[in-house]
Amino acid sequence: MTTLKELAALLNISVSTVSKALNDSHEISENTRVRVKELATKLNYKPNRIAQQLKTNKSKTIGVILPTVTNPFFAEVLHGIEMAATNSDYDIIVCLSNETLHKEKRSLELLSNGSVDGFIMAVARESQVKKNTDHIKATIESKLPVLMFDRVVNSIECNKVIVDDFQSVYDATEHLIVKEQRKNILLVSNIEELSVGKLRIQGYTKALEDYNLKPEILKLDHAVDFDVEKKICDYLKANRSIDAILSIDHVTGIVAINMAKKLGIDIPKKLSIVGFGYEHTQLLSSPRISIIHQKAHKIGEMSAQLLIDNINNEDLKPRTIVVPSELKLSDSVK
């Protein structure tokens, strides 16, 4: 890599003159400025980022700690973060906690050494379940701003970007009751221990309460693959009166459609199905599933923007931004 020193040597001038010339200082003569820039271009000079960072004590980098990236929600959030960060000239360092507390903690600590100017994170499942978030508090106390999205810790005061988990499920449930005239709505859950899961279940329960209906919840308890299919299938077989299913994740709704079809249940006439989903979820089932579409991309963008604002102005009061979801109905019931 070409350095200022090398340029200076070749041009027989001092390093500082070269530096100033490249930074368009008015102190430097037109002549040398041009000479310097020409040589710099020719040798493909690029200021060493590390040196600049050491000098300014800013890394212009954001640490992004995600539970996983194979979950499409987080993947899309990451996309949003990357776009917004790039726009503001920030790099992102990505760490995956794999839902574990120790990896989350480790990542936070490893990057808290000047590597990043702040963090964007969604709390790992384990940290949330064990209510162990001291590492996050410690990071904030060390003056490194942290922004949480989606899965947040209420007791920690910092910027947050969250989804309207309660409201979106309430609205979807209400839609099923009022617009589609459903009375026996089953909620299928496999994330009841997460903060978001709890909120979604609350939204469902409240809506049923408000309309004097009885809640009915099928907890899958982290079942995988065939178990998911079997549990849903068995439940549908044993409870024929169910006329709507509300899945609070992005997979079990589709599984429910497939199982219902297998049992010969007429969708959408006899059974409505709503799940959570992403850009292409609706393409994966026929008839199409109705989805609560979280604006994951937007969540990412806003998170990055808010954190960067916070980095550039430490005195800003912490804010919590709610990004509303959108209910996208299957065409059949539109």
Footprint of DNA (CB under 7 A): 1, 3-5, 12-17, 19-20, 22-23, 25-29, 31-32, 45-48, 51-52, 54-55, 57
Nearer Cβ to DNA, position 1 or 238? 1
Beta bridge partners of 275: 291
Size of the site for its own copies (CB under 8 A): 55
Main-chain dihedrals φ then ψ at residue 214, nearest 5 degrees: -95, 125
Shortest reach from residue 2's CB to DNA, in Å = 7
Shortest reach from residue 117's CB to DNA, in Å = 14
Nearer Cβ to DNA, position 9 or 316? 9
Nearer Cβ to DNA, position 27 or 141? 27
From the list its own copies, DNA, none, pick the one residue 283 interacts with, judged by a Cβ distance below 5 to 8 Å according to partner type.
its own copies
Q: Does 284 bind its own copies (CB under 8 A)?
A: yes
- Distance of alpha carbon 109 from alpha carbon 111, whole angstroms: 5
| Residue of the chain from 92, 129, 265, 321 that contacts its own copies (CB under 8 A) | 92
Q: Using CB under 8 A, which of the segments 23-31, 121-129, 180-188, 223-231 binds its own copies? A: 223-231
Strand pairing report for 326-328 and 185-189: unpaired
Q: What tokens does 257 get?
A: 């459609």
Shortest reach from residue 68's CB to its own copies, in Å = 7
- Distance of alpha carbon 264 from alpha carbon 307, whole angstroms: 50
- Distance of alpha carbon 115 from alpha carbon 3, whole angstroms: 22
Q: Does 19 bind its own copies (CB under 8 A)?
A: no
Nearer Cβ to DNA, position 50 or 224? 50
Q: Which residues contact 26 (CB under 8 A, 6 or more apart)?
A: none
- Distance of alpha carbon 129 from alpha carbon 257, whole angstroms: 30
Place of tokens 């949003």: 80
| Residue of the chain from 161, 199, 255, 306 that contacts its own copies (CB under 8 A) | 255
Nearer Cβ to DNA, position 54 or 263? 54
Nearer Cβ to DNA, position 26 or 143? 26
Q: What tokens does 75 get?
A: 């993947």
Q: CA nearest 252: which of 237, 269, 273?
A: 273
Which one-letter DSSP state was computed for residue 329?
-
Shortest reach from residue 44's CB to DNA, in Å = 12
- Report 38-77 residues binding its own copies (CB under 8 A): 44, 46-51, 53-54, 59, 61, 68-70, 72, 75-76
| Residue of the chain from 12, 31, 41, 142 that contacts its own copies (CB under 8 A) | 142
Query: Cis (ω within 30 of 0) for the bond into 287?
Result: yes
Shortest reach from residue 33's CB to DNA, in Å = 7
DSSP string, 58-84: ---EEEEEES-SSSHHHHHHHHHHHHH
Q: How many C-beta atoms lie closer than 10 Å to residue 160's C-beta? A: 21
